[in-house]
Amino acid sequence: MGKAIEAIAVQRGHTVTRRISRSNRHELNREQMALVDVAIEFTAPESALENVLDAFDAGLPVVCGSTGWNKNLYLAKEKCVSVNSAFLHASNFSIGVNIFFEINKRLASLMNDWPGYSVSVSETHHTQKKDAPSGTAVTLLDQVVDNITRKKYWQLIGENETIHDEAVIPVKAYRVEDVPGTHHVKYSSEIDDIEIIHTAHSREGFALGAVLAAEFIQHRKGIFTMRDVLMQDKAF
Ligand SMILES: NC(=O)c1ccc[n+]([C@@H]2O[C@H](COP(=O)([O-])OP(=O)(O)OC[C@H]3O[C@@H](n4cnc5c(N)ncnc54)[C@H](OP(=O)(O)O)[C@@H]3O)[C@@H](O)[C@H]2O)c1
């Protein structure tokens, strides 16, 4: 993602002044970051929080795309407020997925009145992906739980497993070489199925969204979402 983000940032007229990886992580400090406007963090579930906190300490607003660390997100938000900075985390930065999220919420709210439909979610990603289910799938699942009162939880299950608990939404995660990311929400009744699918064709959409988010938070203070970025001048 770092390379894809750099390519889009340069295309949009920005300069990437610092590239931080494991080997030069000590450079993530106030002195080295003096010329930087925004930090964009895409690393891994186990390193995201520390990187975000250190970027705040270095005086930078932060866009973060690392997934798989939702349980600690509140710590990043608390830090953001305490240093009066800006923070935007998204499980998926692509514009298409954010439209998909809106459709998912609407479909789930309609299904609240139709208990004859069961719901399941699946996602497919490249084999290097570390977290499962994907952060995007978790967002989709949380949206369903928030909008359908009979659904209380979700559970990751194996390819050939099934769940018979009405309160639980089953989610399957497939790992296939070179797949940038596919998400599938399926409602089934005895009479018919309704399915919504988002298929990413490349990582460019995630990178563009992350750069748009960085442009958005640069002169703002607070905690934002991709919805805030996309709502600026579009019907969203
Ligand atoms: N939100 C979205 O739209 C979106 C889209 C795609 C991916 N993602 C998420 O973004 C994250 C990165 O994905 P990716 O595909 O780019 O992963 P990747 O190919 O594994 O790249 C991760 C990079 O982070 C570096 N890194 C790891 N630990 C670090 C640390 N402690 N400090 C500094 N740098 C560190 C790695 O450096 P080394 O090479 O030195 O290990 C590597 O360059 C994942 O969590 C993925 O799920 C989110």
Residue 20 belongs to some domain of the structure = yes
146 and 51, same domain (yes or no):
no
Which residue, by CA, sits nearest to atom 3 of ligand 1?
A: 92
CA 184: distance to chain centroid? Answer: 15
Q: What is the CATH number of the domain that holds 114?
A: 3.30.360.10
Q: Are 105 and 116 found together in one domain?
A: yes
Structure tokens belonging to residue 113 = 């009145």
Tell me if 236 is assigned to some domain. Answer: no
Please tell me whether residue 121 adopts helix, strand or coil conformation: strand
- State which amino acid sits at residue 191: I
Instruction: Report pLDDT digits (tens) over 114-131.
Output: 999 999 999 999 999 999
Q: Which residues contact 41 (CB under 8 A, 6 or more apart)?
A: 48, 51, 52, 55, 62, 63, 64, 65, 66
Give, using CA atoms, the residue closest to atom 5 of ligand 1: 206
**What type of residue sits at position 123?**
E
Nearest to 62 by CA among 205, 203, 210: 210
- Amino acid identity, residue 96? G
Q: Does ligand 1 lie within 6 Å of residue 139's CB atom? A: no
Q: What parts of the chain have a pLDDT lower than 50?
A: none
The confidence score (pLDDT) of residue 161 equals 95
Q: Are residues 99 and 81 in the same domain?
A: no
Question: Would the CB of 20 count as within 6 Å of ligand 1?
Answer: yes
Instruction: Return the amino acid letter for 34.
Output: A
Structure confidence at residue 236 (pLDDT)? 67
Whether 70 and 139 map to the same domain: the answer is: no
> What's the CATH number where 69 sits?
3.40.50.720
Query: Is 106 found in the same domain as 70?
Result: no
Residue 228: the pLDDT is 94
What is the distance between the alpha carbons of residues 200 and 139, in angstroms, rounded to a whole number?
16
Q: What is the structure's pLDDT at 231? A: 84
Write the DSSP symbol of residue 165. Answer: -
**Is the distance from the beta carbon of residue 1 to the nearest atom of ligand 1 less than 6 Å?**
yes
Its domain, for residue 104, covers 95-199
Predicted structure pTM score: 0.90
pLDDT of the residue at 38:
98
Percent of the chain with pLDDT strictly greater than 70: 99
Domains identified in the chain, total number: 2
- Can 129 be counted among the known catalytic residues? yes
